[in-house]
Structure 1
Amino acid sequence: MAVHKKTASRGYDIIGDVHGCAHTLVRLLDQMGYRKINGVYEHPRRQAIFIGDIVDRGPRIRESLHLVRDMVEHGSARMVMGNHEYNALGYCTRAPAGSGKKWLREHNPRHDRLIRETLDQFEHYPQEWNEFLEWFYTIPLFIEEDHFRVVHACWDNDLIEKFKAAQGGACIDEDFLQASSALESFAGQVMDTLLRGTDLKLPEGLAITGKDGYVRQFFRTKFWADNPKTYQDVVFQPDPLPPEVSSRVLTAEEHAQLLSYSSTELPVFVGHYWMDGRPEPIAPNVACIDYSAVKYGKLVAYRMDDERELSRDKFVYVDVERPEQGSDPYSEDSVAR
């Protein structure tokens, strides 16, 4: 009984996409009252929950992974899988014989670029990298507590319930990873939806060129939109839709593709979406805590207690500082080796 009471009253600090910004993560943990004890950050009363995407892009990926894994193994943190951890597993896992490809995730210029910093920083630590890849299989796709939920990009009740029934829990194994390389499969739909979000296809002949230079025929959509009428009501991504597209009225077929997350559902936390500005809820029970840390935005956390309606006042964050000739011990200024 006492154990149940302790768990129910524990506070949680849900932390956004780190992407190798280890020094900034230390600053955020310090600000929230976490202290390094016997080499591991912990809080006397609270537990951190990382939203995924610890790897790729940033200058201290290896350091970040060690810090987070140490906290998880110590019990002072938990983590859900991000699409970048999933991508790393696919990129580093050989495809089955006879599949017509060498790797589950194709080694093309775009995929090479996305994982380059991670592989470079582990170049002299191949055994460590293999151990982290194995560890990724122990990271759940989602967390559901009595009063809140955590997933990297999208909470889809139907897919999650089917996944739990099929897998007997919240983690994938290599068989599921292999199956997920076929996007149209159940496994492919689970990984794409939960870790990348939902989308709609643009009208024929239209495409968006994102800030990353990647040309897309789809746009990312809200999974919580309430009675949307137009594309503008459902779009949720850093790159805006052209005005002539955003005013387009949703068809009945497009409506049927959209998810719904009722205002009566538990609060849910996501990362993934490269927000900017001052952190605040995007719905009374939905918060995105990815504020583009690795692009010199903010590394953000939400301090969750027992509330059912999320509050702007519960966000905490640190600004990511630009490099200053290595003089700032907390600047993201060098590559960990």
Structure 2
Amino acid sequence: MSVRRFEGYDLIGDIHGCGLSLRMLLARLGYSKKNGIYFHPRRQVIFLGDIVDRGPHIREALHIVRDMVDAGHAQIVMGNHEYNLLCYCTPSRTPQKQPYLREHTQRHRRILQETLQQLDPYPEDKRSFLEWIKEMPLFLELDDFRVIHACWHHGLIEQFKSQLGGNRINDDFLHRSAIPDTFEWVLMDRLLRGTHLRLPNDEVMVSRDGFKRRFFRTKFWAVEPEQFIDVVFQPDPLPEHIARTQLSEGNRQDLVHYGESEKPLFIGHYWCEGEPHPVSSNIACLDYSAVKYGKLVAYRYDFEAQLSSDKFVWVDVRAEIKKPD
């Protein structure tokens, strides 16, 4: 049996540029600065990705997190917003078809605008952060638990490990991931964005952040679901007539199931609200809409097999992002 290096881990959800709240949360968790870098003598942080976009202190948050990771005081997995930024800034190998791996559309620019505005004045920082993002693991599997940004998909993860021999992408994989319906595209979509189902009858929903959406995010731990309402997992409620739609066989094939006998799993991504609590006995989502006047949330994990509501720690980020009168 391997010897545990740390007494426990502190898993921190989506920061989205709330750098001041991150400092507050680290202090609340008992971390202090040593040589300018946050550390704990007996514990380690694991960040669940989505450090960038939307918030007021993105560059500061990136420096805090990367310094901790480089010093061995933290680990991190890639979030979909880091992946989006990397693709947006990476020239494609077929510029005549598409100049960058992610198209520079108005929608994509809107999502990334705060990150680009805060990093563009510091080109060396921007370059080094993009290199660091490319090296981020997609997932972590330790002896007692697992970490991923959105969804643990056993089949895709095993295929990825057999092809790349670990948990990180390379340049070829990154470029192929920009091609729809390739294995690389599907893997990045599932692991970093989760499972989702298409709205029936070509219907469209407008989400709280103003985007038109034809899909809704789904649980990957639901037991014997029957209707759409049994699997939806997002802040925006489904209209009643959609919520009561029966799952088809095709819908069921698009869903993934993470069983209760599996290792504890920590995820972010899903914009939860209210009092933090596990979403199942062995899954905790740590994204509580920090940048939308929510909470920046951590889970203090001490190797328990069943996750507990009393292990969540958080700070209210309203004060950081409230605009002056």
Same fold, judged at TM 0.5 (above): yes
The aligned residue for residue 326 of structure 1 is none
Deviation at 1:237, TM superposition (A): 1.1
The aligned residue for residue 63 of structure 1 is 60
User: What is the identity, as a one-letter code, of the residue corresponding to 2:129?
Assistant: F
Q: TM-score, normalised by structure 2?
A: 0.97
Contact 2:11 2:300 in 1 (8 A): yes
User: What is the identity, as a one-letter code, of the residue corresponding to 2:169?
Assistant: I
The aligned residue for residue 21 of structure 1 is 18
| Structure 1 unmatched runs, 5+ | 323-330
2:231 paired with 1:234:
yes
Give structure 1 regions of 4+ aligned residues with deviation exceeding 6 angstroms. Answer: none
The aligned residue for residue 327 of structure 1 is none
| Structure 2 unmatched runs, 5+ | none
Deviation at 1:210, TM superposition (A): 0.9
The aligned residue for residue 164 of structure 1 is 161
Q: Equivalences for 1:246-325 in 2 at 5 Å?
A: 246-322=243-319
The aligned residue for residue 103 of structure 1 is 100
Q: How many residues of Structure 1 are paired with residues of Structure 2 in the alignment?
A: 323
The aligned residue for residue 328 of structure 1 is none
* Cα distance in 1 between the residues matched to 2:322 and 2:17: 11
SS of 1:81's partner is coil
SS of 1:101's partner is coil
Deviation at 1:166, TM superposition (A): 0.8
Q: Deviations over 1:256-311 (max 9, x none)?
A: 22111111001111101111100000000111000011111100000111111100
Contact 1:24 1:332 in 2 (8 A): no
Q: Deviations over 1:46-66 (max 9, x none)?
A: 000000000111111111001
User: What is the identity, as a one-letter code, of the residue corresponding to 2:265?
Assistant: V
Contact 1:23 1:332 in 2 (8 A): no
Which has the higher mean CA deviation after the structures are superposed, 134-143 or 200-209?
Answer: 200-209
* Cα distance in 2 between the residues matched to 1:21 and 1:154: 24
* Cα distance in 2 between the residues matched to 1:260 and 1:287: 15
* Cα distance in 1 between the residues matched to 2:146 and 2:202: 38
Deviation at 1:139, TM superposition (A): 0.8
* Cα distance in 2 between the residues matched to 1:183 and 1:157: 21
Q: TM-score, normalised by structure 1?
A: 0.93
Q: Deviations over 1:85-121 (max 9, x none)?
A: 1001100011112661111100011111111111111
Contact 2:293 2:321 in 1 (8 A): no
User: What is the identity, as a one-letter code, of the residue corresponding to 1:88?
Assistant: L
User: What is the identity, as a one-letter code, of the residue corresponding to 1:132?
Assistant: F
* Cα distance in 2 between the residues matched to 1:114 and 1:92: 13
2:133 to 125, 133, 136: 136
* Cα distance in 1 between the residues matched to 2:244 and 2:296: 33
Q: 1:98 to 1:297 in 2, by over 3 A?
A: closer
Contact 2:272 2:288 in 1 (8 A): yes
* Cα distance in 1 between the residues matched to 2:179 and 2:245: 31
Determine what percentage of the aligned residue pairs are the same residue: 54
Deviation at 1:332, TM superposition (A): 4.1
SS of 1:133's partner is helix
Q: 1:215 to 1:332 in 2, by over 3 A?
A: closer
Contact 2:31 2:40 in 1 (8 A): yes
Q: 1:98 to 1:6 in 2, by over 3 A?
A: closer
SS of 2:257's partner is coil
